[in-house]
Amino acid sequence: MIKPHGTDELRPLFVEDEDKRQTLLKEAETLPQLLLNSAAAANAVMLGAGYFSPLSGYMNAADAVSVAQEMHTVDGLFWPVPCLNMCSDASAIVAAGRMALRDPNVAGSPVLAIQDVTSIDTLSDEQLAGIAEKVFGTTDLDHPGVATFTTSGNHLVAGPLQVLNYSYFEQDFPDTFRTAMQIRAGIAANGWEKVVAFQTRNPMHRAHEELCKMAREALGADGVLIHMLLGKLKPGDIPADVRDAAIRRMVELYFPENTVMVTGYGFDMLYAGPREAVLHAVFRQNAGCSHLIVGRDHAGVGSYYGPFDAQAIFREQVPDGALEIRIFEADHTAYSKKLNRVVMMRDVPDHGMEDFVLLSGTKVREMLAAGQSLPEEFARPEVALILMEHYRHAN
């Protein structure tokens, strides 16, 4: 199986030993407390679950700037997006050598992790804007990722973590949330060697389904990892539980048996386009996948990125040898009325736009909210039914 990123073995920061975890929870009661923001909490979950291997904790300012500008830490580890614990008020922890980190996403804000504080750096608004410009390609506050980043505070609290739970993800998604270690174990149990990953924050329609099948066939892969984001999204995106149900129904009915693993991970969407696509590749390498599908406007939002910028970054900015995982470059996929099947649009140069069944996200939401069925060429009827039920109850 493919090696984890930057290390021979995964380095998850979750404390597996139950007795040790209980001892640490008791210690946490005596420590200075910091209520995390959602992004920092998600970073802790990803550190605990092995997806951020080989990082040992939150980055300091020097590493954050180096990662933003050069895509590597000061010590030379390739990394595409800073992993940070940002806060707006550090007065309660300024003298803390060790502190308890509380979860903002669970009732009662239980302790999520314990952090050894190695530094607290304060960045100017200009420095934060500089990092945002490099990571997101913009400083526009209408960009949801920029808005979250630039309002999370100017203080960076750096240091290693001991992660004590996986926030709400295990309880809310017991059949779907999986750590990188669990996915590796599942791949090994299936006897798979070559695995192609599909990242999604949306329900999967016919085009997505066929894209996974095309990639598996083209690569000669043993299986597909459908890996959905379970954390915070922007308003209007489909909730994770609805996506999960729709995707599982599609896999059950329309994929060959034992060719797909449906799993999820606990992270908040950044909408960072090309940089986030590279981060997605790191996640999937750590989870044991040999390939990642990168399609049109991967991890994008609005019109901030070109349609294939997320593919170009791997060719133009990721150094040779920085990652072992490989990219399957996909074009926009759609149902061809001429051929009566889903195709990659680049493969049918004789087609005009009128030859495809294409629906915008806005149009899909409008139809579902109105209780209208989606065209079978666009969405499997069983999937559309689940989505229609969601919109019927939401309105």
| Catalytic positions | 201-202
The stretches of 137-261 forming alpha helices (DSSP H) are 144-150, 169-172, 180-190, 206-219, 240-254
Continuous segment of H or E residues that includes residue 341: strand 341-344
**């609290």: which residue's tokens?**
157
User: What is the CB neighbour count within 10 angstroms for residue 89?
Assistant: 12
Classify residue 139 as exposed, middle or buried by CB count within 10 Å of its CB (0-12, 13-18, 19+): middle
DSSP 3-state of 305: coil
Q: In what order do the strands lie in the sheet with 291-294?
A: 260-265, 223-229, 195-200, 291-294, 326-329
Q: Which of 279, 269, 267, 271 is nearest to 45 (CA)?
A: 267
Written as six digits, the tokens of 209 are 């389904």
Maximum separation of any 2 CA atoms in the chain, in Å: 69
Q: Which of 76, 346, 355 is nearest to 214 (CA)?
A: 346
Determine the Cα–Cα distance for residues 323 and 312; give it in Å rounded to an integer.
Answer: 15
C-alpha 341 chain-centroid distance? 30
Sequence-distant (≥ 6) Cβ neighbours of residue 357 within 8 angstroms: 334, 335, 337, 375, 377, 378
Can the peptide bond before residue 319 be classed as cis, meaning omega within 30 degrees of 0? Answer: no
Q: How many CA atoms lie within 13 A of 113 on its CB side?
A: 29
Beta strands 223-229 and 260-265: pairing type? parallel
User: Which value, in Å, is the radius of gyration of the alpha carbons in the chain?
Assistant: 21
| 191 phi-psi bin (left φ>0, alpha ψ -120 to 50, beta other) | left
